[in-house]
Structure 1
Amino acid sequence: MDVFADRAEAGALLAERLRHISDPVVLALPRGGVAVALPVARRLGGVLDVLVTRKIGYPPSPELGVGAIAEGGEPVLDLGLLRRLGMTSESVAGVVAEERRELARRVEVYRGERPLPDLAGREVIVVDDGLATGGTARAALRAVRARGPGRLTLAVPVGARETVEAMREEADEVVVLIVPADFRAVGQWYERFEQLTDADVLSLLAEA
């Protein structure tokens, strides 16, 4: 199966699949989602902004995500996983508080004092560079849904099959270019998948 040259190419291809949508608010999940979302916003004549999310990690092993939080939303925890780990939502309250602080810091970096666009009644597209477990995407979609969009679409270039199907419960439409049977990680489906910095995100937002 083909891979994408980079996030910009993936975004351009994604934009073609989304061309039935006009004048949307395109909300990118930083950092990698911003590079995908820029060509989408340009192609559809939409407004581009970021929706900041943070993973909530398992305290003994923070790389294991047990949930996520998005700006303006409440924590979305994987309660089944927490039970299997012998934990409760109270067990990660300290991590949630830390991630709230880091989320607020990143919102300040990316947007300053400017609020999110008004999403009420609008066509909203949430964009990321891929779907693995879907924790941050789920938190993002629920935070957006609470703001009353007219229609909510999740758009990603590549995603794990089970996660893509699960996201159909969270969005009105899920658009994914590649749903490989052998998905292991988002990065394997890109020739170039460098980590973006805050400066990269700000540069992409300035281009928009």
Structure 2
Amino acid sequence: MPLKLQSTFPALSLFGVLATLLSLPGLFGCQFPPKIDHGRYTKLFSIFSTEYKYECDSGYTLVGEEKISCSDSVWSPAAPQCKALCRTPEIANGKLSVYKIHYIEPETVTVQCNTGYGVVGSERITCLENRTWYPEVPKCERKILAGCEQVLAGKHLMQCLPGSQDVKLALEVYKLSLEIDVLELERNKEKAFQEP
């Protein structure tokens, strides 16, 4: 080895050993940085500090400061958390109380149905750590007002009829049946009124 390199080699070796020792968190009184669920940390290159940066797995977002360092034997600030991101649920004939592209666990939102529709299921849902909604996302279904059941049944009947003449005949028969129901109702009222 040339003489010039021999004289610098020990200095470089000593510098390497010092750099390694200084980069150990334990030397400054801190253990290794806290581990976080759904994420990891990496050491930021610096000879004289112990600074680490956190990042989250795909589908999770960092809540808190992304960098921490050892100061007075304590990691500061506190380690962040990786919180789940839930996608916006699609709700036909309805909407959410608060609209976002992603919701962060444990956010809770309320499902609101359009006029004439009602919530089937729980109207309040919460984003969970596994990136799903709990309870299951409800549906908005058309409300059937009292007394409208027969009209809806007639609508389904007409969809099964082959031609317009058949539909017309079915409507006439349906109209007659409603008129008969009204007449019977009036007759029963008169009968009840006449009885002592």
Q: Which protein is richer in helix relative to its size?
A: 1
Q: Which protein is richer in strand relative to its size?
A: 2
Larger radius of gyration: 2
Alignment TM class, shorter chain as reference: under 0.3
TM-score when normalising by structure 2: 0.20
